[in-house]
Amino acid sequence: MALYAALALFPSWAAEPVRIVALGDSLTAGYGLPAEAAFPARLARALAAKGHAVTVENAGVSGDTASGGLARLDWSVPEGTDAVIVELGANDALRGIDPRATRGALDEIVRRLKARGIAVLLAGMRAPPNMGEDYARAFDAIYPELAAAHRIPLYPFFLDGVAADRTLNQGDGIHPTAAGVEAIVAGILPKVEELIAQAQAKRGT
């Protein structure tokens, strides 16, 4: 795993920074990009620019599935974590994994994080068109339904505005370029700020 902790600059007098873990696959890990251009690092920079005292740890593993994320949850999300962005499921859809298995794994991830008092933001994914309408209908429903059931914030589609845009993706057409990552960060930023507020409320700061 390419592990990279991005520390946002904050004044020495500021409160203890909110510790965020980005739990995901290659879209989080930053496949094909230098560490400083990966989603967690760019998100940390964007949050710092808005005055947030945070750290964002890159717990992305290329090729990981929702079940894979569940299997490594305890060591990928260490004690002291305040919030987690869950970005998993893209590889499940690409491999045609039964949506019920994906749902079960994501449900357990969220349940276990909440049991630890950790704020959670669920980043949604959509099935590729070639999987067919029935599969897409079952898969795409996972994220809004889990977010509603667990009462957690949802960013409906992690690749919103980036998917299928050749100018924002690498040659494989799947992984975003540095510019694509910036677009993702810009889109998800309001939801992450909501996540930070929830994490701060949980610890009373």
DSSP secondary structure string, 34-81? -GGGSHHHHHHHHHHHTT--EEEEEEE-TT--HHHHHHTHHHHS-TT-
> Distance of CA 196 to CAs 31, 84, 121, Å?
26, 10, 10
- Is 32 exposed, middle or buried, given 0-12, 13-18 or 19+ CB atoms closer than 10 A? middle
pLDDT, tens digit, 9 for 90 and up, residues 12-40: 334 689 999 999 999 999 999 999 999 99
| Contact predicate 73/109, CB 8 Å | yes
| Contact predicate 28/38, CB 8 Å | yes
- What average pLDDT does the segment 166-179 reach? 96
- What average pLDDT does the segment 181-189 reach? 98
Catalytic annotation, pick one of 26, 52, 76, 92 = 26
- pLDDT for res 15: 67
26 assigned to active site? yes
Catalytic annotation, pick one of 52, 64, 92, 175 = 175
Q: Taking the mean position of all CA atoms in its chain, how far away is CA 134? A: 25
76 assigned to active site? no
Domains belonging to the chain, first-starting first, are 17-203 (3.40.50.1110)
Q: How many CB atoms lie within 10 A of CB 183?
A: 18
| pLDDT range class, residue 11, cuts 50, 70, 90 | very low
Give the percent of the chain with pLDDT over 70: 92
CA distance 47 to 168: 22
Q: Provide the H-helix boundaries in the chain.
A: 26-29, 39-49, 66-71, 73-76, 90-95, 99-115, 133-140, 142-150, 178-203
> Distance of CA 11 to CAs 14, 15, 40, 41, 138, Å?
5, 9, 20, 19, 46
pLDDT, tens digit, 9 for 90 and up, residues 74-126: 999 999 999 999 999 999 999 999 999 999 999 999 999 999 999 999 999 99
pTM of the model: 0.92
150 assigned to active site? no
CA distance 97 to 68: 12
User: Which has the higher per-residue pLDDT, 4 or 112?
Assistant: 112
Average pLDDT of the chain is: 93
